[in-house]
Amino acid sequence: MGLSERKTASSFAERLLRVYNLAVTAIGVVLMTTIVAVMGSQVFFRYVLNDSLIWAEEFSSYMLVLISFLLLGAAFQRGEMMNIELLMARLPPRLRAAANVPISLAMIGFLLVLSYYSYRFALLNRTTSIPALDFIISSLTGETRTVVVSRFWLYLTLPIGMCILALHLAVAMMRDLAVAVGRMSPADQPRYADAGD
């Protein structure tokens, strides 16, 4: 692969990363705005009108689950996940990068196993309804409805989020491998906290 082809692939990857970051940020903003609006309405209905919205807490907790699992990869990329580097920080950069490779492999394997079993768990819940949504739809239509939206779709965010995080780890591992074998300078390796800037 020539230098111009590498630059083209790199610029395409950077554009793709920018689009991904914008999409993730937009999802986060929409979900957090929805939670604030629903819980603000809940406070108004409960303490001003003395008539609580019985679905508000459940709905907001589902939104928090969506935020947590869909934004795992972005949190890793920005360096916002807990990291203990007591020993690793003392190693030279190339040796640190080499030590990160098997750690990343183990984490990717663990995430893929969790993703597989969480997908199976989601399948077990495909006939279970989300009571808050059933109540909202029943209230709007005037008809009693169950399993309007299956819990499968909510639980599907777990394997998707874990796979997204595994992809982020795979990219970080490839960078560490390039540093370890000398194909990339440790100074050229982007820090995860700066990757979205």
Report the C-alpha gap between 197 and 193 in whole angstroms: 8
**DSSP 8-state symbol, 98:** H
Local confidence band at 194 (pLDDT 50, 70, 90 cut-offs): very low
Q: How many domains does the chain have?
A: 1
**Domain range for 112:** 3-194
Local confidence band at 16 (pLDDT 50, 70, 90 cut-offs): confident
**pTM of the predicted model, to two decimals?**
0.72
Report the C-alpha gap between 75 and 125 in whole angstroms: 28
Local confidence band at 36 (pLDDT 50, 70, 90 cut-offs): very high
Average pLDDT, the chain: 81
**DSSP 8-state symbol, 191:** P
| Residues of the chain above pLDDT 90, percent | 20
